Amino acid sequence: MSPADCADTVTSVRRLLVVLTLAVGMVWPGPAWSHAYLVRSRPAARAVVARAPERVRLWFNERLEPAYSRVSVWNGATQRVDAGDARVTESEPTELSVSVPSLPAGAYTVKYRVLSVDGHLVESEFVFSVRGAP
């Protein structure tokens, strides 16, 4: 084998090793970057509902720490309109909810801040709208 052939073989082997390393890195489970993320809500984000629900409900992918999980509902004038009774459901520790009164037509922002049992804090918000009477 000539020196040029050896150099080509070494280069090919190095390329193969790089490709294999990248492939294994893509499928090998990495560290758990676990955070509670919102799976669904009622009403849903960007939903337009005929009337406001009695409770705004949020479901997450992980159990929540009740003492450190909050949810609130705000109207378009940035006034808090929920009853202030946010709670993590005891029988379903991935659900956080708060009751709301009968809301007039308009857009409402749901703000939440949750701590999952693994210690990660997540804060976000979404909007839903109540449609006026026809």
**CA–CA distance, 87 with 96 (Å, rounded to integer):** 6
pLDDT at 114 over 80: yes
The answer to pTM > 0.75 is no
E strand segments, 1-134: 38-42, 48-49, 55-60, 70-74, 87-88, 95-99, 106-115, 121-130
Query: Which of the four pLDDT bands, split at 50, 70 and 90, describes residue 73?
Result: very high
C-beta of residue 59 within 8 angstroms of C-beta of residue 41: yes
pLDDT at 26 over 70: no
* Rounded Cα gap, residues 8 and 95, in angstroms: 59
